[in-house]
Amino acid sequence: MKLSLLTLATAATVVNAAYPGDIVYYWVDQSATFVNGSIIGGLQSPPSGWYQAVVQAAIYQAAVKSRHESLEFQQLAVSHAAHNSILWVFHGSRLYNAVDAALRAVIPVIGLDPNSNKGKEAAKTGQIAAAKVTQARSDDKITNFVDFAYGPEEPGVYQQSPGSNPFPDTPQARFINPFAGIGDISRFRAPPPPKTNSKEFEAQTLYVKEQGALNSTARTSYDTDTAYFWRESSITVWNRLAGAVIGDKLATKVTDSAKFYAQLNYALANAGIAAWDSKFAYQLWRPITAIHHPKPWTASGRSLFDASWTPLLRPTPSHPDYVSTHSTFGGAAAAVLTTAWNGGADQIPAVVLSSNVTLDGRGVITRTFTSLREAREENSRSRAFGGFHYTFAGVEGIALGERVALETLRKFDAHWDRF
C-alpha cells in the first residue's frame, strides 16, 4: 500500500492504530522522492545507491533493536531512524521541511502517542540507530577529493562528451567502503572490454550509431520508449519494482521488511561502487566520442565519423562507458529479488510500472513485467537504444551486478552491521 502525505493526514483523523501499509517501503518511497525532487535535483551514481543503503541500514538497525516491541513501536522507531539518516545525508539543505513533513504525516497514523513513555522510547531507538550508522559511514571515503586527468585523445580513450561536465562525476566513488563487509571491490572487476580495433567493437559502435541516434530510422517506437522508460534513476525504479512485487506482504513484519530492503540497497550500493571501479580501471570512450572521432580507427578501416551525430538520451553521462552502471544496478537488484524474495525463481506476478518522461515531452510510459530477467535485460538494452552505451557494457554490467549482489547476500547475516 502506497499512501501519499495527503492521504496520511486524512487518515490520521480517523485512525488510531498502526500504519496500515509497509512502513519500511513508505520510507523507501519517500527517500526516492527527496533525492529526485526539485529541491535537491537528484544524486549522481554511485552516491544515489550509497544514500539509500545508509537510510536502509539505519532502518534495519532500528527494526532489530525494536523487534520485541509492538508493531506501532517498531514503526515509529524505524520512522525516526529514516528521518535522521536522510537528513544526515542532506544536512544543511533545504530538504528539512519535506523530511519533517513526511515524519509528521505518518506519526498520527501509526497511533503511538509520541509524548508517551513508549513513544519517546521508540523515537530514541530510531535516533540512536541512525546515529550509529551515520557515524560509521562518516569516514567511508565518499567525501574525499580525487582528481582526474583525461588520457590522450586516441581511439578507445575516454574523453569529455558534448554537453557533459568538464570532469567525470564522483571519481572518488570507486573507493567508497562497501556495505556488509564484502571486501576489496576490485576483486569483482569486469573483464577487459573488446579491443577498440576489433571487429566486435566496430560492429557494436555501428549498432549504437544506428539504434541510439536521436533521429534513428532503425530504432522501433517500442525501443524508443524503452530508452525513455529506463532513463529514470535505477535506484528509484528498482526499489519501486521491488515494492510492486512485495506489496504489503511484510506490512506487519517490520524486521523482515527492513532486512529485505537493506539487502537490496546494500547490493545496489555495492554494485555502483564496483561499476565505478571497472569504469575508471578501463576508461573506455563513449559511443559519441567514437563516432565523433575524425580519423578511421575501425578494424575494417571504415570511417564511422559523423560530427553531427547526437544520441537519443542526452547529454551523455560524465563518466567512462564500461561497464554500464544502469545494467550493473539491474543485475544486482534482479539477483536480490530472485534470491532473497522469490525463492530462486525468475517469474513474478505481473507488475505494472510507469515512468513520467519529461525529456522531449514523451510523457508517461507504462510497462508490465512478469520476469525479473526480462526487466534487467530491457533495462540494459535501453542504454544502447539511448545512445549511451555499447551492448557489451550492458552484458558485463549485469554480470558484475549479479556477482556483487550474491556476495552481499552471502555476507549479509554475519556482517549487516558493517555499515
Q: For the segment 26-54, what is each residue's pLDDT rounded down to a tens digit? A: 999 999 988 776 455 678 889 999 999 99
E-assigned strand segments in 133-230:
none
The DSSP secondary structure of 135-161, one letter per residue, reads: HHTTTSSTT---------S-TTB--PP
Quote the cell numbers at residue 42.
Answer: 537528484
Residue 208 has pLDDT above 70, yes or no: yes
pLDDT for res 283: 98
- pLDDT band at residue 17, thresholds of 50, 70 and 90? low
Range list of β-strands (E), 112-237: none
The gap between the terminal CA atoms of the chain, to the nearest Å, is 29
In this model, does residue 25 exceed pLDDT 60? yes
pLDDT (0 to 100) of residue 12: 43
pLDDT, one tens digit per residue, over 85-101 is: 999 999 878 889 999 99
CATH number for the domain running over 171-415: 1.10.606.20
Boundaries of every domain in the chain: 5-136, 171-415
> Grid coordinates standing for 401?
551486478
For residue 374, the 8-state DSSP code is H
> 213: which strand partners?
311
Give, as one character, the DSSP assignment of residue 365.
Answer: E
DSSP 278-339: HHHHH-BPPHHHHHH-SS--STT------TT--BSS-SPPSS--SS-HHHHHHHHHHHHIII
Q: What is the pLDDT of residue 36?
A: 74
CA dist 342 and 317 (Å) reads 33
Q: Which three cell numbers stand for residue 173?
A: 566513488
| 364-373 per-position pLDDT tens digit | 999 999 999 9
